[in-house]
A and B are shown apart, each in its own frame.
Chain A
Amino acid sequence: KAGVTQTPRYLIKTRGQQVTLSCSPISGHRSVSWYQQTPGQGLQFLFEYFSETQRNKGNFPGRFSGRQFSNSRSEMNVSTLELGDSALYLCASSVTRLPQETQYFGPGTRLLVL
Chain B
Amino acid sequence: GDSVTQMEGPVTLSEEAFLTINCTYTATGYPSLFWYVQYPGEGLQLLLKATKADDKGSNKGFEATYRKETTSFHLEKGSVQVSDSAVYFCALSEPGGTSYGKLTFGQGTILTVHP
- Pair from one complex: no
